[in-house]
Structure 1
Amino acid sequence: MIPLNQLQVFQALHDSPNTRLEHSAQLGDGMVAALWNNRDDARDYHAPSHHTLSCYIAGGTGTFRRDRPSAKGAPGKLCILPAGHESNWVINGSIRLAHLYITQEQFALECIRLLDREPRALQLQETTFLDDAGQTARFRQLIALNWEEPGERLLTSSLAHELVDHALLHQVGLRQGLRLKGGLAPYQRRLLADYVEQHIEQPLSLGELAALCNLSEYHFARMFRESFGLPPHQYLLARRLAKARQLLRFGELPLVQVALLCGFASASHFSNRFRQALGATPGEYRAAFRG
């Protein structure tokens, strides 16, 4: 779970006396959703360590950035605020907006999974008042769900993944002026990603993965993190949980078999890890998609 006080955009809104938080929910996989109301305010965001996808649900016609006063918001408009960006906002009148916060580690995982690219080479493009009917519809679906119900919160998590995937496929570009140093070569990154997928049910060790690249465990772990954006054990766990979600959502295998196919030593270990990541047991997750 992500401490909310470590989400700088969330905290900047939360600290305003003019802002009211309707709902927030930890969605697992490095994502948090929040629904806000604000009126007659000014907010500044200074180099947050996370990415933010934003959708104006209602109002916002008096909202603008100080450096772009002629461009105003409106219902349905989207904003993309990458990690590390700087922006200063003025809110005249009222606004209701939904936010999805994404950690840089989750962004890195999706860059590898969807784009087969090294995360360091890519950047989420900062965008203000974007029109994208599909993304707006996903945000409206998201806020219509009851985040207090475990089953619906899991559906919310699936919508959040769709929002992030769409942003990665349409709003990610090459990082300009970057010369990559260190890290794994592209062929090594692909070799490792393929090897993990093909052997995900096996008890993989750091030494086994390092040997594929002819590196010591120490240098491999450092170079892996530089290229993948997170340490090897976190990457492996994320891929195992991703496969588990797919098997639970689209299959009928017993939970014990799902655990073994995804590389977990026991059903209890699988259940504990799954609940830590998504806030629900594997059985509750499967039930949410059978409703």
Structure 2
Amino acid sequence: MMTGPDDLYLAQEDGGMPTTLAGGSAPGESGVSVLSVRFHGGAHLSATLRQHLVCFQMSQQLAFECRMAGRVLHHAPPAGSLAVCPAGIDCAADASGSLDAILVVIDPGRLALAAAEDSTPEARLIEKLAGYDKALLDLAWNLALESANGYPNGPLFWNEVASRFIDALVVRHTTAYESRARGMLGKDMLDRLRDYVHAHLDEPIGVEALAQLAGRSPFHFTRVFTRSIGVTPHRYVVHLRLQRAIELVRDGRFGFAEIAARTGFADQSHLSRWVRRVHGVSLGQLAP
């Protein structure tokens, strides 16, 4: 069973596809999708992904052979245990016996953006053949239930759970390089750029101004910024504008048109389109 645009292969003991219990992502740009599957008789997974993958084994202890980046582990992980496979890493697993699994796929750019917001722009997801994280498991289970039931709590709930999942990965499953990689933005520079955007949120902000602050040409700055943060400078500015706009909408003291003006959107319609695109809901659904 080939799943999605990446090379993810799933098969059960008879060589057929496992049963899909749930799969997909709610409207919006959460950067997270989920696949819940049931394998009969045995399980095989192999992948080399352009996205990060976190796998949860949901059944009672079974014998597993797990392989990742040349390392091999033979073990019998308990129900709820996880494996973390960063983008670009070869990973595979074989198990004897029937089992359920939840696979959570995360966009690397979304993880990089969350790490940058946590002031750790150089954080990198840690390869993990086996581990346990109860809070992360609960979030994955919520995502799987939402998907299985057709997103009954709406896109905003999905996006909030997805954001919490990514934030938990950043806090507990990443590591920062001891020295900044060449051609990457450091924490101090990112802080200066973020402070500048916040200070000029109600004004036009071009890449030229940000590049000048970083002491680089606009072309070189755009490449370095995108490599470091996972999104272009323009999308980062929109991200911060939208973040503040949502805070003001939930505060309830200003009308939508005034909020759009205060956060640098052309008008209410422009703000509404971005809210719908990123969060999958209308402005009215964000209001208290």
* Fold-level similarity (TM above 0.5): yes
Equivalent residues in 2 for 1:206-225, closer than 5 Å: 206-225=207-226
Equivalent residues in 2 for 1:167-206, closer than 5 Å: 167-175=169-177, 180-184=181-185, 186-206=187-207
- Asked whether the equivalents of residues 60 and 95 of structure 1 are also in contact (C-alpha less than 8 Å), the reply is no
Equivalent residues in 2 for 1:1-291, closer than 5 Å: 5-9=4-8, 12-13=9-10, 17-27=16-26, 28-39=29-40, 40-46=42-48, 48-59=49-60, 61-65=62-66, 68=72, 70-114=74-118, 116-119=119-122, 122-145=123-146, 148-149=150-151, 151-175=153-177, 180-184=181-185, 186-249=187-250, 251=252, 253-284=254-285, 286=286
Per-residue deviation, residues 82-111 of structure 1 (Å, max 9, x unmatched): 112222211322222222211111111011
Pair 42,184 (structure 1): closer, same or farther in 2 beyond 3 Å? closer
Pair 138,182 (structure 1): closer, same or farther in 2 beyond 3 Å? closer
The amino acid across from 1:77 in the alignment is S
Q: Cα RMSD (Å) of the superposition?
A: 2.8
Distance (whole Å) between structure 2 residues aligned to residue 54 and residue 250 of structure 1: 38
- Asked whether the equivalents of residues 63 and 89 of structure 1 are also in contact (C-alpha less than 8 Å), the reply is yes
Pair 179,202 (structure 1): closer, same or farther in 2 beyond 3 Å? closer
Per-residue deviation, residues 110-153 of structure 1 (Å, max 9, x unmatched): 11101x1333xx32111233122222222233333365246433
Unmatched segments (≥5 aa) in structure 2: none
- TM-score (normalised: structure 1): 0.82
Give the C-alpha shift of residue 258 in structure 1.
Answer: 3.3
- Asked whether the equivalents of residues 34 and 144 of structure 2 are also in contact (C-alpha less than 8 Å), the reply is no
How many residues end up aligned between the 2 structures? 277
**SS at structure 2 position matched to 1:180:** coil
- Asked whether the equivalents of residues 81 and 132 of structure 2 are also in contact (C-alpha less than 8 Å), the reply is yes
The amino acid across from 1:172 in the alignment is T
Pair 206,74 (structure 1): closer, same or farther in 2 beyond 3 Å? same
Unmatched segments (≥5 aa) in structure 1: none
Distance (whole Å) between structure 2 residues aligned to residue 245 and residue 56 of structure 1: 36
Identity of aligned residues (%): 22
**SS at structure 2 position matched to 1:129:** strand
Greater per-residue helix proportion: 1
The amino acid across from 2:260 in the alignment is A
